[in-house]
C-alpha cells in the first residue's frame, strides 16, 4: 500500500496477475479468520438500531460501497445512501447524524477527503466503521469500528484482491444473518468457487482478442451485480484505456441504448437470481439492436434472450445470489489484464495513476 512506483516488475502485468490469482486464498482466509470479529462488530451495530446507513468511498472501493448499499437495503431493510464527500469537505455541512451508520470503504485508508468525511460524520453523531486493507491508516484510526479485509499488501495499481475482500467483509457485516453464522464450510465453498471461476481463461482470452481494437465498451447489470458492471468498466479504463461505461440495465433502456449498435461491445452480467432474471428484457433489447454481447455468468434464461452472445463462465453453484459479485468480477479482472497485454500496455504501470489518490 502507498507505494507509488510498480514499474520495476519483471513481466508486464505480473503483479496484477499474481494478485488476481491470490483471491481464492484471500477470500477463504478472510471468512474463516475474521468471522468472529465481524460477528462481534455486527452484534454491536445491530444493538444500536440505526435508522439509516451512509456509505463513503472513492474509485474501486466506491463499487464495494454500491454493493453494500444493496445489502443494507435488501438484507437490513434500511434506507441507504452513498455519501458525496464534497458536501462536508467542500460545502462544510454538519448534519445531525445521530442514529446513522457511516461506513467508509478504502483499500489504503489514506484518501484525505474520506478521512475528513468520516471525522465529520463521527463529530455529527454517526457510528463510524472503516472497511480497509490498512488497519494502521488514518481512516482506521479515525473510525470507531475497523474491519480489516486482510487482503495482504496490494501492489498493483489496479485493485483486485482488496476489492473482492471488501465485498466479502461487507457481506459478512451487512448481508443475511446466517452469513456469519457458519464459517468453515461456507468459506471453503466460496474459495473453491473463486478458484474454479478463475480457470475460465480460454473464454477470457477469446474475448480479449475480440476486443483488441475496440475503443469503447458498455457494461451492464442489475441488482447486486450492478457493482460488478461499474467495477469492470473502471478496471478496463484503468488498464486498457478503453472508454468503458457502466449502466444499470434499467438506466440503459433510458437513453444510452441509442448509442448501442453492432459496433458496440456490451458486457452484461446475468447469474442465477433475481438480478439476473431482471436483465432478461435488457438482453432481449441488446440482442435486437445487434450489440456484440458477452454475458458474464449466462443463465439459460439469459441465453434464450440473447442466443448469439458469448459467455464468460462463473461458478455460482451453491453460492447465494448476494455473494455472486465476489465471483462475477473475477473473469472481468482477468479480461482487463489480458486486454491490456493484448494492446501492448503494462497494466502494472498505467499512465497517470498512483496507488493512493489524494482528493480533498
Site for its own copies in 77-116 (CB under 8 A): 77-82, 84-87, 90-91, 93-97, 99-100, 113
Q: What is the largest CA-CA distance in the chain?
A: 55
Per-residue binding string, its own copies, 206-235, x by CB under 8 A, is ---------xx-----xx--x-------x-
Nearer to its own copies, 135 or 250 (CB): 250
Give CA torsion, residues 332, 194, 276, 260, to 10 deg.
10
Among 123, 153, 308, 359, binds its own copies (CB under 8 A): 359
Nearer to its own copies, 138 or 238 (CB): 238
Q: Does 5 participate in binding its own copies (rule CB under 8 A)?
A: no
Q: How far is CA 263 from the centre of its chain?
A: 27
Radius of gyration from C-alpha coordinates of the chain: 19
Rounded Cα–Cα distance for residues 39 and 57 (Å): 23
Q: Does 13 participate in binding its own copies (rule CB under 8 A)?
A: no
Nearest distance from C-beta of residue 248 to its own copies, angstroms: 8
Task: Tell me the residue length of the chain.
Answer: 360
The 10 Å Cβ neighbour count of residue 16 is: 32
The 10 Å Cβ neighbour count of residue 321 is: 17
Stretch 129-188 residues interacting with its own copies (CB under 8 A): 158
Nearer to its own copies, 300 or 358 (CB): 358
Nearer to its own copies, 2 or 243 (CB): 243
Nearest distance from C-beta of residue 175 to its own copies, angstroms: 13
32 with 187: CB under 8 angstroms?
yes
Rounded Cα–Cα distance for residues 127 and 144 (Å): 7
Q: Which residue has the cell 452484461?
A: 268
Closest CA to 64 of 167, 179, 194, 169: 167
Nearest distance from C-beta of residue 90 to its own copies, angstroms: 5
Question: Would you say the C-alpha torsion 39, 44, 48, 51 has a positive or negative sign?
Answer: negative
353 with 346: CB under 8 angstroms?
no
Nearest distance from C-beta of residue 187 to its own copies, angstroms: 25
Stretch 246-305 residues interacting with its own copies (CB under 8 A): 248-251, 253-261, 274-275, 278, 281, 285, 289
Nearer to its own copies, 187 or 217 (CB): 217
Nearest distance from C-beta of residue 28 to its own copies, angstroms: 28
Nearer to its own copies, 79 or 318 (CB): 79
Rounded Cα–Cα distance for residues 357 and 360 (Å): 10
Q: Does 241 participate in binding its own copies (rule CB under 8 A)?
A: yes
Give CA torsion, residues 322, 323, 327, 332, to 10 deg.
40
Nearer to its own copies, 32 or 124 (CB): 124
Stretch 56-75 residues interacting with its own copies (CB under 8 A): 58-60, 62, 69-70, 73-74
Stretch 15-54 residues interacting with its own copies (CB under 8 A): 51-52, 54
Nearer to its own copies, 117 or 207 (CB): 117
Nearest distance from C-beta of residue 85 to its own copies, angstroms: 7
Amino acid at each position: 500500500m502507498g507505494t507509488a512506483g510498480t514499474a520495476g516488475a519483471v513481466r508486464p502485468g505480473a503483479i496484477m496477475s499474481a494478485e488476481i490469482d491470490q483471491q481464492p486464498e484471500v477470500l477463504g482466509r478472510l471468512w474463516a479468520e475474521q468471522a468472529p470479529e465481524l460477528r462481534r462488530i455486527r452484534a454491536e451495530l445491530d444493538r444500536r438500531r440505526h435508522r439509516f446507513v451512509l456509505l463513503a468511498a472513492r474509485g474501486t472501493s466506491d463499487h464495494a460501497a454500491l454493493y453494500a448499499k444493496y445489502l443494507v437495503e435488501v438484507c437490513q431493510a434500511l434506507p441507504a445512501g452513498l455519501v458525496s464527500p464534497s458536501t462536508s469537505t467542500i460545502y462544510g455541512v454538519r448534519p445531525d447524524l445521530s442514529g446513522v451508520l457511516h461506513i467508509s470503504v478504502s483499500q489504503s485508508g489514506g484518501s484525505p477527503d474520506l478521512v475528513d468525511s468520516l471525522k465529520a460524520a463521527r463529530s455529527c453523531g454517526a457510528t463510524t466503521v472503516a472497511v480497509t486493507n490498512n488497519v494502521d491508516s488514518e481512516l482506521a484510526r479515525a473510525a470507531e469500528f475497523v474491519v480489516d479485509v486482510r487482503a495482504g499488501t496490494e501492489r498493483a495499481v489496479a485493485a483486485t484482491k482488496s476489492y473482492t475482500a471488501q465485498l466479502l467483509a461487507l457481506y459478512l457485516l451487512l448481508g443475511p444473518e446466517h452469513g456469519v453464522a457458519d464459517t468453515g464450510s461456507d468459506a471453503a465453498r466460496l474459495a473453491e468457487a473463486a478458484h474454479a471461476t478463475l480457470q475460465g481463461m480460454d473464454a477470457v482470452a477469446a474475448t480479449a482478442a475480440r476486443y483488441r481494437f475496440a475503443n469503447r465498451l458498455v457494461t451492464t447489470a442489475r441488482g447486486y451485480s450492478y457493482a460488478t458492471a461499474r467495477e469492470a468498466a473502471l478496471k478496463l479504463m484503468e488498464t486498457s484505456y478503453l472508454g468503458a461505461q457502466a449502466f444499470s440495465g434499467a438506466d440503459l433502456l433510458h437513453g444510452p441504448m441509442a448509442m448501442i449498435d453492432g459496433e458496440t461491445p456490451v458486457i452484461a452480467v446475468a447469474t442465477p437470481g433475481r438480478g439476473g432474471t431482471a436483465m432478461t428484457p435488457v438482453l432481449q433489447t441488446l440482442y435486437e439492436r445487434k450489440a456484440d454481447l458477452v454475458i458474464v455468468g449466462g443463465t439459460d434464461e439469459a441465453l434464450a434472450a440473447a442466443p448469439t452472445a458469448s459467455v464468460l463462465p462463473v461458478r455460482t453453484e451453491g453460492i447465494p445470489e448476494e455473494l455472486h459479485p465476489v465471483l462475477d468480477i473475477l473473469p472481468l479482472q482477468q479480461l482487463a489484464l489480458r486486454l491490456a497485454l493484448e494492446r501492448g500496455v503494462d497494466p502494472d504501470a498505467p499512465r497517470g495513476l498512483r496507488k493512493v489518490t489524494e482528493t480533498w
